[in-house]
Amino acid sequence: MTKIFVLLLCLIVVAFGFVNGSVDEKEKIGIFELKKGEISLKVTNWGASIVSLVLPDKNGKLGDVVLGYDSIKEYTNDSTYFGATVGRVANRIGGAEFTLNGKHYKLVANEGNNTLHGGSRGFSDVVWKVKRYQREGPSPIVTFTYHSFDGEEGFPGDLLATVSYILTGKNQLVIIMKAKALNKPTPVNLANHAYWNLGGQNSGNILNEVIQIFGSKITIVDSKLIPTGKFASIKGTAYDFLKPQIIGSRINQLAKTKGYDINYVLDGEKGKKIKLAAKVHDKKSGRSLELYTNAPGLQFYTGNYIKDVKGKSGYVYKAHAGLCLESQAFPDSVNHPNFPSTIVTKEKPYKHYMLFKFSTKSH
């Protein structure tokens, strides 16, 4: 009798400790602001996500160019990946499985039979630790870390992931994503899932913005958006953005996916690690961005599946309200030996560099 009583007491204490622990964790979610010159960035350690980026338009009027919400609570209930860091493996893994060094791994399938953005509780759905925070100065920075455990969503090994947001130069945002495998080799592919609208997050859609994407090939996908392993030239197709094009000019040709949702193989310059991936320009506001990265691919997504999402100040986002420029490894790389490897080991850590250069022209 006493033994059972003691056991029950232990269980209650453990249960309370757990509840307390998770409440405690929730309480540590915050919003962190970086300010430099004309731009200010807000991020949260929930999913290491971008909340807002405010910068002037051609008339000097400030505007927020990132889709999102007013409150943390809405971020914790989000299913569109607004602003988030996605992982452990961004994009899709076909069949929610892979084999590595002879061992078969079954993952959590959260999009039909496939895994999208790391599973049903990926890196975008966890609380990251705040490791460093400097709000102002020459290089304002915030650094988040997340310790992903062995077996999380089915992935092998403990992994220490780090994401830093840094404001630098004139109107430049650098994002550095790193990951260290602590015991077992594992696939890693981290990406930033911000939805940009240079006209302002509440300005309608991005179909009249102009984009240039420096990739002459795409990875061909099947009807479930899983790569077949083959590549196709974009020449003469609606995917050709080698020269600047209005985003909406040929979007009707992509009825099946309701718009762009495709991985570009970035061309880059021979011998150079950092490539110019894309340029976007919004004529109305005069705002432009350029994205440079060391990643081999760029998923270009035109927010095809945004459906009446209630965002900042009650503004309702509809399809194409924003665009994502997800520099990353090719989707489903772990199942395609001919794609650049995404396997991270103790000896071979992961590093993903992104530089967003913003500018405003008045003409």
Ligand X SMILES: *[C@@H]1O[C@H](CO)[C@@H](O)[C@H](O)[C@H]1NC(C)=O
Residues that bind ligand X (CB under 6 A): 16-17, 20, 24, 74, 77, 79, 112-113
Indicate the residue among 17 and 30 with the shorter CB distance to ligand X.
17
> 202 Cβ partners below 8 Å, 6+ apart?
64, 311, 312, 313, 315
Q: What count of residues does the chain have? A: 363
Indicate the residue among 113 and 228 with the shorter CB distance to ligand X.
113
Minimum distance of ligand X from residue 79's CB (angstroms): 5
Q: Are 263 and 342 in contact (CB under 8 A)?
A: no
Query: 152, 153, 209, 326: which is the annotated catalytic residue?
Result: 326
Minimum distance of ligand X from residue 288's CB (angstroms): 33
Minimum distance of ligand X from residue 115's CB (angstroms): 13
Indicate the residue among 108 and 274 with the shorter CB distance to ligand X.
108
Query: 117, 152, 153, 193: which is the annotated catalytic residue?
Result: 193
Minimum distance of ligand X from residue 70's CB (angstroms): 11
3-state SS record for 286-311: CEEEEEEECCCEEEEECCCCCCCEEC
| Rg over CA atoms, the chain | 21
Tell me whether residue 326 is one of the annotated catalytic residues. Answer: yes
Q: Are 27 and 126 in contact (CB under 8 A)?
A: no
Minimum distance of ligand X from residue 63's CB (angstroms): 25
Tell me whether residue 117 is one of the annotated catalytic residues. Answer: no
Say which residue the tokens 């599973």 belong to.
119
Beta bridge partner(s), residue 111: 114
Indicate the residue among 91 and 328 with the shorter CB distance to ligand X.
91
Q: What's the CA gap between 95 and 25, in Å, rounded?
A: 33
- Cα-based distances in Å from 242 to 31, 287, 302, 357: 37, 20, 17, 19
CA torsion angle 339 344 349 352 (round to 10): 40
Residues labelled catalytic: 193, 326
